[in-house]
Structure 1
Amino acid sequence: MSESPLTSRRGFLRTAVVLVPAGALAGCEGGAQSSAGNAQQSGGSQPGQTQAQAAPYKPRYFDAREWAFVQAAVDRLIPADAEGPGALDAGVPEFIDRQMDTPYAHGALWYMQGPFQQGAPELGYQMKLVPRDIYRLGIAAVNAYANKAYGKDFDALDANTRDALLANLEAGKVELDSVPAKVFFGQLLQNTREGYFCDPIHGGNKDMAAWKMIGFPGARADFMDFVNQNGQPYPYGPVSINGERT
């Protein structure tokens, strides 16, 4: 891409809002829990419950080393700055971990019969790995590369080195044993975007901070009066599927 999300937050947000469908902003794809009770069991906060009162989220799929990688990586993909919260503040790691228990992450809705051959890009995804496997194998491979090149796991690297390594993964300049670098980076980046802009019921976009930042109304029943008011900020805060308001 001409403007890397690693070097320009503004550029990342421009591309992310275009690439994540409007419907996905209100309810991200993947079949994650859709009830208030399920969200509470997964560590999500409910109306009237502050972040301080909510129990810290414990990953279900990722082990401790993988969890450290996910947090360190998404923190560099969307760092906090004056424009808005970062991926960590928005709960993106929780969103990704919760997605690993959905049919999407298991490839249950994909055609996964062989032969698996590298095809032209316009043919779409052709690998035998499902998202869960891409993460498990990709994180292990990146940590192995980081240890060989820098003597540390990815999460122990300084911010500039993490940025450089992520940029090399994006460009396919790193050889990983078990999964192509571009495939792994693309999976991580897409899920980071989804977790940042999804409805909070799925674990990300805590307090609807990302929606407030871009002026998205969320799951409001009617906002058609404001659709054609180009350039005018939306005057009301967003509403989540659970009915939370800001």
Structure 2
Amino acid sequence: MPDNRQAQPAEESIALTYLNDAEARTVEVIAERIIPDGGDGAGATQAGVVYYIDRALSGVSQNLQHVYRTGLRALAKYCAAQHAAEFADLPVDIQDEVIQRFLGPAVPEEGSTPIMHGDEAGEHGESADLPTLRRLFAVVREHAIEGFFCDPTYGGNRDAVGWKLVGFPGAYWGYTAEQMGRDFDGRSLPIMTLSDLRTQLRAKNLPDNATFYRNEEN
């Protein structure tokens, strides 16, 4: 069955915990080019991926703070030297070109590595810190995917846009044998989050475990 639920844009008033506004804007634009909105309201910006990344950098991914700090400075220096503009202000085709230079093509071939263009390896090589920029884009890509498909509790996947895109119903206590069947459409189930499960737990409104047992006779 088709999924007609519409995603809502991320709230701009939510406070940042680690990134400053300029850094967050750049990270959000990078994430949006990695997971763009295809016109269905399902992109990194709508999913609030930047808020997931910001929270992660204040918590479980504190060890990657230096990757963002040094990487974003290196990116600003590179874009100023090569394009006389901030990354977030570049046309989207140039943004994509910059990302692909350091991250590689959107669909890389097996065993491929990012292409080193002449302006990076040759006479203008001093304008690009290649290892730092490659590391930055690789980490942002990983974080963007995590933030797009995580439980909304962690700041990303706003309005469950990532789950809706792939037809995943979310966090359930379990699934019946029918629901685990190959032809079952997960989009027919209402989306549940960890917050919903916590509400059920507090209300002691839990499903009977027997609901999820397979009938061994069938």
TM-score for both structures, normalised by structure 1: 0.63
Pairwise CA distance, 1:195: 0.2
Instruction: Measure the CA separation in 2 of the matches of 1:236 and 1:198.
Output: 18
CA contact (8 A) 2:71 2:135 kept: no
User: In the alignment, is residue 69 of structure 1 matched against residue 26 of structure 2?
Assistant: yes
The residue number in structure 1 matching 2:160 is 208
2:213 is aligned to none
**2:77 maps to what in 1?**
144
Local SS of the residue matching 1:100: helix
**Where do 5+ consecutive residues of structure 2 fail to align?**
1-7, 105-113, 200-218
Question: 2 CA distance for matches of 1:96 and 1:151?
Answer: 27
Q: Is 1:138–1:179's contact at 8 Å kept on the other side of the alignment?
A: no
**What's the secondary structure of 1:80's corresponding residue?**
coil
Pick aligned residue for 2:92 from 151, 159, 167: 159
CA contact (8 A) 1:137 1:178 kept: no
* RMSD of equivalent CA atoms: 2.4
Give the number of the structure whose residues are more often helix, by fraction: 2
1:242 aligns with 2:198: no
In structure 2, the residue matched to 1:184 is: 136
1:154–1:201 distance in 2 versus 1, CA, 3 Å:
same
Instruction: Please report how far the alpha carbon of residue 228 of structure 1 lies from its aligned counterpart in structure 2 after TM superposition.
Output: 2.5
Which residue, out of 192, 195, 202, partners 2:147? 195
Distance 1:238 1:209, change over 3 A: same
Q: Establish whether residue 226 from structure 1 lines up as the match of residue 179 from structure 2.
A: yes
Instruction: Give me the whole-angstrom Cα distance separating, in 2, the residues matched to 1:85 and 1:178.
Output: 31
Instruction: Report the 3-state secondary structure (helix = DSSP H, G, I; strand = E; otherwise coil) of the residue aligned with 2:195.
Output: coil
Counterpart CA distance in 1 for 2:44 and 2:152 is 13
Distance in 2 separating the partners of 1:80 and 1:192: 13
Tell me the secondary structure at the aligned position of residue 242 of structure 1.
Answer: helix
Aligned to 1:101: 58
**Contact 1:197-1:211 within 8 A present in 2 as well:** yes
Q: CA deviation at 1:182?
A: 2.4
Kindly state the Cα deviation for residue 74 of structure 1 after the two structures are TM-superposed. 1.0
- Partner of 2:31, secondary structure, is helix
Q: Which has the larger radius of gyration?
A: 2
CA deviation after TM superposition for structure 1 residue 226, in Å: 1.8
Is contact 1:106–1:132 with CA below 8 Å preserved after alignment? yes
| Separation in structure 2 between the aligned mates of residue 100 and residue 240 of structure 1, nearest angstrom | 22
Q: Give 1:177 shift.
A: 3.0
- Deviation of residue 198 (structure 1)? 0.2
Output the amino acid matched with 2:65: R
